[in-house]
Amino acid sequence: MTFGARVHAAVRARGPLCAGIDPHAALLHEWGLDDSVAGLERFALAATEALAAECAVVKPQSAFYERFGSGGVAVLERVITAARDAGALVLLDVKRGDIGSTSEAYADAYLDPASPIAADAITVSPFLGFGSLDPFVDAARKHDAGLFVLARTSNKEAPEVQAARTEDGASVTGTILDHLRALNAGAEPLGSFGAVVGATIGDTGEDFAFNGPILAPGYGAQGGTAADLPRIFGPALSAVLPSSSRELLRVGPDAAAMRDAARRTNDELRALLA
């Protein structure tokens, strides 16, 4: 199955919530753990065990593992395996973007099933030009994986680039969405090439219906609410994967509390999409 088909089926079975497995140093301390590889391992595996069985998608942020070097990357490998064993799709948040053979190497690392850190999908940056993502697109097609391309993020600096206008008058965001629309043309039930669009952005006038999944980070603790989603995404609402990390992880290390938080959030989102 293509990634688009897998994520569509997973959302129907489990709800649209994407759970971030982001071991911030502050969260490790809140859990009473040391900011060390051992603390990282206890935190990340406990969170994955609690959340991966409840959510369609889990999203480890690679930087929080990489900062511990090889030991942290080894923990990330275990998180990916544990999440998949629990039936979740893994979206690895790496935001990679480069050109030529370097992009090919990144694509091999994160999308080729032969790699120990291969995921179902990754986040990528198009700001070296959308064509720079061709090696990622080729790898995603070859391995039935997915991409989530940065399109309209919620950080305050984003409009400087993403709301800028190209020579033909289109916004950078709109141009990215048009590329995704072309990649997903004719895909059923959903394309495999998604966008990252913040759950806290203001009105943009953009058309987010491009027949692909939309990762919407910032839901919950970062201020995104259920009322924001229809306003931002309109007809594309059914393709949205609201992503929450701290809202779920802060109730740990109690596994039952994390599972309950994920279930409540999924119930809220299902009611919104009904």
**CA–CA gap between residue 207 and residue 236 (Å, rounded):** 8
**CA–CA gap between residue 207 and residue 177 (Å, rounded):** 8
Nearest Cα to Cα of residue 219 among 199, 239, 189: 199
Annotated catalytic residue 156: no
Nearest Cα to Cα of residue 57 among 163, 209, 215: 215
**CA–CA gap between residue 168 and residue 179 (Å, rounded):** 15
In 10 A of CB 120, how many CB atoms? 25
Catalytic-role residue among 59, 95, 142, 156: 95
Taking each continuous run of H as one helix and of E as one strand, the counts in the chain are 12, 8
Backbone φ and ψ for 125, nearest 5 degrees, come out as: -105, 130
Instruction: Decide if 244 contacts 198 (C-beta within 8 A).
Output: no
Task: Supply the residues annotated as catalytic.
Answer: 95
